[in-house]
Structure 1
Amino acid sequence: MRFTICFTGLLGVFLAPAFANYNIDVIGDNNSSGGGQQSVSVNNNHNLANIDNDNGWDSWNSVWDYGAGYAATRSFAKKLCIVHKMNMQVMPSIETLDALVKENKLQGKGPEGPPPNSLVFSVNSNQVNDPSVFGKSIVSMCKGIPTYMAEEIEGSSLFYNAEKCFNANILWILGVSFCGEVEN
């Protein structure tokens, strides 16, 4: 009995790093108004990445469900959730994101590198009736708040007034803008 408990404990100690989530904290990342903190967690077991941007009323969080192929961003100020298909040609793969987080390559790095990739989305003003098609993680995050679908706008975004866009920049690797007006 003691051997089983000891073996199980040692197994847990050695396997824990294989199943761990890795985080990066970024202070003053200029995502909204020059302050805040952002953390990225990668869960390889579930093919998920979670990004939390803590900046007072401008806080938001995002989940990237690589398995389902959808991402969702929840804005606390706007009290809504926006879902979109993941553009894997622009968004980093989970392996790339995981490697950057594990190696802390983004820790303390700023805009000195190449400009980030960017995505601009047009938010549909009709609420999503059945968010379950986007996967469990997105349903969990968006449960109980108005949820809208967004479609990527290819090419120039000159047609949108920047004041009507909500920006959810991911560290210094991806700029994301959600444009359009929805009523809650």
Structure 2
Amino acid sequence: MKTLIFAIASLGLLTDSVFASNAIQLINKDNQGSTVYQTVNINHHTNVAAFNIYAGPHSSNAIVDYNSGMIAYHMPYKRICVVSRMNRNNFPNISQLDQMTNEGHPIHSISRSYGISRQLVSNVATLGAPIQAICRGLTTYWATEYPRPPPLVGGRACAGINLLILNVNLCGGVSVF
């Protein structure tokens, strides 16, 4: 029995080294001087990167699912998710993202802007398990990536989410504040 437990534990350590995950943590201050704790978890086995900001009531998360080509931005304080298809032509692949976080690239060195539509995602489960996990039970909107923030027309507003190396502008008629 002890041999079996040792073999299972050894297999767990081997699995972790073969399917390496990388976790980066950063503690800094926001514009008001409050402490903000950020993490980036990159899992090469599942091809998913998770960004987390722990900033009290304005905490937020993002999931980049390289398998499905989807990105989800989760704002629990508004009880909404915003999802978009990843533009693989200009978004770093998972190895590049891992390298950027390990090499200490400048904070917010990747910038993305999205126009949020009023179109709701009818079935979050079709977007892949990681997106479903972060957005399940929340109102989830579709968004389209733009090279720069879309023009503010007709009462549209933008919210910025700064996720370690990823700076995101979410703009639209949907209230994200």
TM-score relative to the length of structure 1: 0.80
Partner of 1:92: 92
Partner of 1:124: 117
Q: How far off is 1:33 after superposition? A: 4.9
One of 146, 157, 160 as aligned partner of 2:152: 160
Q: How far off is 1:5 after superposition? A: 4.0
Q: Compare the two structures and name the one with the higher strand fraction.
A: 2
- Aligned pairs, number: 173
Partner of 1:83: 83
Code of the residue aligned with 1:105 in structure 2: it is E
CA distances 1:52-84 after superposition (whole Å, capped 9, x unpaired): 111111110111110000010111222200000
Contact 1:29–1:171 (Cα < 8 Å) also in 2: no
CA distances 1:116-150 after superposition (whole Å, capped 9, x unpaired): 23211110012221222211211121111100000
TM-score relative to the length of structure 2: 0.82
The answer on 1:54 being equivalent to 2:15 is no
Provide the C-alpha distance between the structure 2 equivalents of 1:92 and 1:84, rounded to a whole number of angstroms.
Answer: 15
Question: Which runs of no fewer than 5 residues in structure 1 stay unpaired?
Answer: none
Contact 1:29–1:38 (Cα < 8 Å) also in 2: no
SS in 2 for 1:23: strand
Code of the residue aligned with 2:169 in structure 1: it is S
Pairs within 5 Å for 1:3-42: 3-28=3-28, 30=30, 33=32, 35-42=35-42
Q: Please give the root-mean-square deviation of Cα atoms over the aligned residues, in Å.
A: 2.7
Partner of 1:181: 173
Question: Which runs of no fewer than 5 residues in structure 2 stay unpaired?
Answer: none
CA distances 1:84-122 after superposition (whole Å, capped 9, x unpaired): 011223322111222344xx323xx655xxx72321111
Code of the residue aligned with 1:63 in structure 2: it is I
Partner of 1:105: 103
